[in-house]
Amino acid sequence: MDGIEQKETEENAPSVIDRYYTRWYRADMKGKPCEDHCILQHSNRICVVTLAETHPILQNGRTIKSINYQISNGCSRLNNKVSGKSKRGGQFLTDFAPLCRITCTDESEYTIYSCIRGRLLEVNENILERPALLLEKPFTEGYIAVILPKFEESKSITENLLSREEFESIISKRNVAESQPS
């Protein structure tokens, strides 16, 4: 159920995401500079993993060559199936579990990670057919995966993540550092 919202008449009404989700971030994932991830958490504890706006894939006019959910010889996220209300059978992910690998036309390759512990509910198959979605709408239709944290961990999983303010302050420092001559 959604919260109660005041009728928004302004043009700069909050986006659908901001109305229903809290944004969390992970900066420089696995120590790789600027590989920032974003996690959208719904009040019902469900999380959607997306690229952060600062991720290299979204910079410098890159285009995507391929997206691969086959993360090892034995494991493809495409084989993930959940059944019933209890979501039996979903792959269980830890913070650093890879979700997919994305190769850009400039041959740069990036791995997208889960960032949180939880059960994988679905991956976004639409971006396989239309990789451009990832670039055009990275926070909505270009999402990577949906993860359901354990009920008892629904509060603690965000402890390791950055709030929007914390993330923005990191980004502004990063920009300052980049602009300074070394």
| Options 70-78, 99-107, 117-125, 156-164: segment touching other proteins (CB under 8 A) | 117-125
Q: Is 46 in the site for other proteins (CB under 8 A)?
A: yes
Which residues are registered as beta bridge partners of 98?
Answer: 113
Specify the residue, 125 or 166, whose C-beta has the smaller distance to other proteins. 125
Confirm or reject binding of residue 132 to other proteins (CB under 8 A).
no
Q: Is 51 in the site for other proteins (CB under 8 A)?
A: no
Q: Which of 28, 34, 42, 98 binds other proteins (CB under 8 A)?
A: 42
| 64 binding other proteins? (CB under 8 A) | no
Please report the beta strands in the chain, taking only residues with DSSP state E, as ranges in sequence order.
Answer: 21-26, 37-42, 47-51, 64-68, 70-72, 75-76, 92-93, 98-104, 109-113, 118-123, 145-148, 162-163
**DSSP conformational letter for 50:** E
Alpha carbons 155 and 72: distance in angstroms, whole number:
31
Lookup: tokens for 146: 């949906």
Give me the amino acid identity at 137: K
Kindly tell me which of 44 and 180 has the beta carbon lying closer to other proteins. 44
Looking at the Cβ atoms of 46 and 135, the one nearer to other proteins is: 46
d(CA 76, CA 53): 26
- Choices 4-12, 53-61, 164-172, 174-182; region in contact with other proteins by CB under 8 A: 4-12
Give 27 or 40: the residue with its C-beta nearer to other proteins.
40
Binding segment toward other proteins, per CB under 8 A, in 23-31, 61-69, 98-106, 139-147: 139-147
Q: Which residues, in sequence order, are bridge partners of residue 145?
A: 49, 123
Give the total residue count for the chain: 182
Residue 18: DSSP 8-state: H
Which residues here bind other proteins, judged by CB under 8 A? 1-5, 7-9, 11, 13, 15-16, 19-20, 42, 44-46, 48, 82-85, 87, 121-122, 124, 126, 133, 137, 140-141, 143, 146, 148
